[in-house]
Chain A
Amino acid sequence: MKYAFYPGCVSKGGCPELYPSAVKVSEKLDIELEEMKDVACTGAGVLPQNISDPINARTFAKAERLGLPIMTICSTCQGVMAQANYRLKEDPDYRAKINREYLAEEGLEYKGTTEVKHLLWVLFEDYGIERLKPLIKRPLTGLKVSPFYGCFLRRPPEAITPTKDLNRRKSYLDEIIGIIGAELADISGKGKCCGFPILSANEENSLAMVAKHTGESKEKGADFMVTPCPLCHLNLDGNQSKAEAQTGKEIDLPILHLPQFLGLALGFDPEDMNLKRHIVSTDKVEKKVEMLS
């Protein structure tokens, strides 16, 4: 089982704890990763489509040449690439134009066969939950966990559910919390925006969203929140204290990346998963996890 690994900028930048956790967890699961180092940022929804589509087409063409599907660990990378891939796959004329105008010079061509999958989707659709279950050495029994998907793992439909039978993708994170033995602390905003995309344009609104989601999770008694999106993590973890200051309410909710959450259940120590690198202290979570060992 092998993937062209697209870690994304943030897993090596603002969330440097994510990349090594994802690599360790993949190794443990025998998921072989060939990291794509010579490809560009997806554009993250900031760069306009006329620029991001050609540079994403280049990434797909490179993976196609390797004969591997792409695995992402970021809802934003996933969503932006999936939307670009949808346009390129559905419209052969558009694909041909991009190939001709942008990729041909490098001797590349995208034939439209590359699949792009988030680690969360890989687990359910390729790896298999039955194969995962026996590897769970430390069920996180007694811990309450809120899911937070990141918009692009839920919408738009053509990026998530190109066929109707994939509708279940929208609940994978809820499911994995149960599979790992933790208790679901469900929140109404789990599929909503974390506010990160407008952090620069309107910080007040962005922080209001952080406060809303983390506050609700805290009220539901969650020990922590888990997210498959490092951009959500940057806002929910990194800016939680600002959100507290804005609303005047203490929140103090640790946010874990999906690979860290999986890693703890697979038996890794919190230290291996770099929990100390978060802005919101994870001490309480670590203590609870150590008591389970």
Chain B
Amino acid sequence: MQVTFKVYRKDPEKDGKPGRSNYTMDVPDGATVLESLFKIRDEMDPSLAFRCSCLRGHCGDCMVRVNGSSRLTCTAKVSAYTQKGPEIALDPLRNVPVIKDLVFDWDAFMWNKIRAVKPWLESADLPANGETLVPDAAMRDLRKVMSCYQCGMCDEGCTVLPVDFDFLGPAALTKAYRFVFDPRNQDKKERLKIVEKPKGIWDCVHCYEADEHCPRAIEPTKRIVALRDEAFRVGITNDKVARHHQSFAASVKESGWLDEGRLAVESEGLTNVKGLMKLLPTAAKALTRGKAPIPYMHTKRPDADKIKKIFEKAEQVEK
């Protein structure tokens, strides 16, 4: 089948301006996108730059966007992308600094962020016999996370990174999970503090896109949610988030359901005059449009006392 690959080009040694080169060739049945890229480089244009390593879908190095969606080119069959027409667009990932053509800056994309979560074990001194024994049950869950080969697909699927490239992202936060929950780690709270800073776990929208993108079913979003739940349990250290979560929890605990007016005010902080003033335009609009009842009332649900009992009991577990 004749296929035209429309490949993103950028050469920092020339003018550095992005452009596109078209390469038309016969593609054999079953050929992958990566095999086609090899053919282009070997037979048509030796100046084309792209990355690859394992050639079997296990390293993530060859990830590019194929017709707009991120794919590992070594496992992506050409025939899967030609149903609508014999043209395939190949681009580097979105919102990532491009070095040359399809080669983008992995340090900026992921490795610097993984480094930022201190991806190593900090444990107390080894016992005299030189080994720390860990029950297998504790490691079973971590082994799943350790099977991550850092392909970056979760970061590519992330909803937050396109609006804020400084967000740590699911790959690095999943790496953080691996060390926060390692029983050999000596100070869980200190580790949590790193990811509780702005651009960390509390900036995640928990939209589950990362889980949908992960080729290893590691479920990065669930790992981030677990980190947040753990932070809630041991005490949230991000002040703004702590106020919001404490207010939310208090209102459900006391009345059975959410008091949104109280949440808005308490999230800003009762002594934060500037923050509270910021709420006024929204509150004024809500009042004029009849969105908020006057006078503002929040009543307990029937059975609020029973709900409170369950809430309090659950809070006490594992404390």
Contact = CB atoms under 8 A, between A and B. Distances in A.
B108 interface: no
B314 A51 contact: yes
Contact of A38 (B162, B229, B249, B302): B302
Given A155-B211, A277-B291, A40 B256 contact: yes
A277 B244 CA distance: 26
A67 interface: no
Given A38-B301, A157-B212, A279-B291, A47 B313 contact: no
B310 A200 contact: no
Interface string B226-238: 0011001100001
B291 A54 contact: no
A142 interface: no
A13 B252 contact: no
A44 B244 CA distance: 13
Interface in B237-296: 238, 240-241, 244-245, 248-249, 252, 256-261, 267, 282, 285-286, 289-293
B81 interface: no
A37 B291 contact: no
B140 interface: no
Given A102-B314, A201-B238, A47 B206 contact: no
B302 A51 contact: no
Contacts of B202: 198, 201-202
Interface string B292-312: 110000000111001101110
B159 A209 contact: yes
Interface string A1-18: 000000001100111110
A46 B245 contact: yes
B205 A193 contact: yes
Contacts, number: 161
A273 to B, nearest CB: 14
Contact of B307 (A10, A49, A58, A151): A58
Contacts of B211: 155-156
B160 A43 contact: no
A57 B291 CA distance: 31
A101 interface: yes
Interface size grouping (class) on chain B = 35 or more
A48 B260 contact: no
Nearest to A40: B307
Interface in A234-255: 238-239, 241-242
A193 B221 CA distance: 13
Contacts of A276: 289-290
A208 interface: yes
Nearest to A234: B260
B163 interface: yes
Interface in B138-171: 159-160, 162-164, 167
Contacts of A16: 290-293
Contact of A14 (B232, B291, B317): B291
B74 to A, nearest CB: 25
A149 B313 CA distance: 35
Contacts of A241: 285
B136 interface: no
A151 B208 contact: yes
A212 interface: yes
B31 interface: no
A138 interface: no
B87 interface: no
A96 interface: no
Given A14-B260, A48-B228, A51-B315, 4 more contacts: A13-B258, A49-B225, A55-B314, A156-B222
Please name the 6 residue pairs, one residue from A and one from B, whose CB atoms are nearest each other, closest first. Answer: A48-B229, A155-B208, A38-B303, A208-B163, A9-B258, A193-B207
Interface of B: 159-160, 162-164, 167, 198, 202-209, 211-212, 219, 221-222, 225, 228-229, 232-233, 238, 240-241, 244-245, 248-249, 252, 256-261, 267, 282, 285-286, 289-293, 301-303, 306-307, 309-311, 313-315, 317-318
